[in-house]
Amino acid sequence: MSNAHKSDLFLIIVTLLAAISWMFSKEAVLLMPPLLFMAARFLLAGGLLALVSYRSLKRLSADQLSRSVGVGLVFGTAMSCWIMGLFHGTHVGEGAFLTSLGVVIVPIIARVIFKEPQPASTWIAIPIAVAGLALLSLKNGFRPELGQLFFVMAAFIFALYFTLNTRAANQRTVINRRGESVEKHRVPALPLTAIALLTVGVLTLIESLLLESWTPAAEAFSPILVWWIFASAVIGTAGRFLLQTYAQSLSANSHGVVILVLEPVWVALFAAGWFSETMVASQLAGCGLIFAALLVNRWGVISKALKGWLRHRKPV
């Protein structure tokens, strides 16, 4: 099996790990305060990745460290909204499609804030995504549920996080206040991820201390809850990011992004089997439109991937 095929296979596994993590997290927030769960999950996951990337962490400059923490603060805000959406939401599969709107919003953030040009497919995808979002709210007469609002807020903040994370992970030249060119060195993927995850853990721990009441540990932490925390941290977070980093290192092709778009589909399927969730016609249509918007938004990558696959399949 070629490295490109291995990369695709591992990225499919990454989407499955990400999807199953939704189930672990939903089970956990039924048993403990949601923000406290996030703190435990991300401190454990970030700690594991910090051990793996210890040597790289020691070589980071102060600027690289501060940018990594900044990415983590935005990521932590997004994850706080996401977990509150999961806590208050009534439909896990629907929440996954709402959160995936962040992929469509990323180009808007890049254009508005960082003045980066965007392809025409971006502006075609936006109205499709908005139509899908509207259909998901129709059952309440355009009065979205609290969980839906949290998921949409998370999508917007995730879009900002994706943009900042990409900029931190790539070397670039910026102009400072004195008009001088300054080289911003890239932050290696593993230490960047480790710092971001630890920052999420610290932020959500502070939020939990301020906003949540804690049950005494002896009463709160049952063996099954410990398992959900461990599974979310090790399988759904640390394991997922490590495997994703390894998979992306195997191939220079960018079509892996298309594979990651499958995550909300897996979540919906897992939720149907795990929690016996079903969708009415308007929900199916809304999720379908959002998924279509994701594909349109990534059409440039999809078309290149299809052309590459057809060339590979063509007999010599």
Q: What is the mean pLDDT of residues 8-25?
A: 90
Cβ–Cβ contacts within 10 Å for residue 225, how many?
Answer: 17
Of 301, 251, 244, 272, nearest to 13 by C-alpha is: 244
Q: Which pLDDT belongs to residue 184?
A: 62
What pLDDT, on a 0 to 100 scale, did the predictor assign at position 208?
95
Is the pLDDT at 218 greater than 50? The verdict is no
Q: Is residue 210 part of a domain?
A: yes
Average of pLDDT values for 272-299? Answer: 87
- Which has more confidence, 58 or 110? 58
Distance CA 50, CA 68 (A): 13
Categorize the per-residue pLDDT at 139 as very low, low, confident or very high, splitting at 50, 70 and 90: low
Tell whether 166 and 236 lie within a shared domain: no
The predicted structure's pLDDT at residue 316: 46
168 and 136 share one domain: yes
Judgement on whether residues 148 and 255 belong to the same structural domain of the protein: no
If we measure between CA atoms, which residue out of 201, 211, 226, 210 comes closest to residue 31?
Answer: 226
pLDDT greater at residue 179 or residue 71: 71
Rounded mean pLDDT, 170-186: 55
- Percent of the chain at pLDDT above 90? 37
CA angle, residues 233, 202, 195, in degrees to nearest 5: 70
Residue 66 located in a structural domain:
yes
- Please answer whether residues 33 and 214 qualify as being in contact, where contact means their C-beta atoms are separated by less than 8 angstroms: yes
Whether residue 52 is contained in a domain is answered as: yes
Please give the share of the chain, as a percent, with pLDDT higher than 70. Answer: 81
Domain extent, residue 241, equals 1-32+222-272
**159 and 209 part of one domain:** yes
Do 101 and 200 belong to one domain?
yes
User: Is residue 23's pLDDT more than 60?
Assistant: yes
User: What does pLDDT average to over the chain?
Assistant: 82
132 and 260 within one domain: no
Residue 180, pLDDT above cutoff 50: no
pLDDT at 45 over 90: yes
Among 57-66, 240-249, 270-279, whose mean pLDDT is lowest? Answer: 240-249
Asked if residue 17 and residue 94 are part of one domain, the reply reads no
State whether 266 and 307 are in the same domain.
no
DSSP string, 127-174: HHHHHHHHHHHGGGTS---HHHHHHHHHHHHHHHHHHHHHHHTS-EEE
The confidence score (pLDDT) of residue 101 equals 86
Q: What is the mean pLDDT of residues 92-97?
A: 91
Total domains in the chain come to: 2
Q: Is residue 206 domain-shared with residue 74, that is, in the same domain? A: yes
Per residue in 73-89, pLDDT tens? 999 999 999 999 999 98
- Helix (H/G/I), strand (E/B), else coil: 35: helix
| In a shared domain, residues 49 and 190 | yes
| 244 and 289 part of one domain | no
Whether residue 37 lies inside any domain: the answer is no
Based on the fold, state whether residues 113 and 135 are members of the same structural domain. Answer: yes
pLDDT band at 186 (very low <50, low <70, confident <90, very high): confident
Express each pLDDT in 112-135 by its tens digit: 877 777 778 778 888 888 888 888
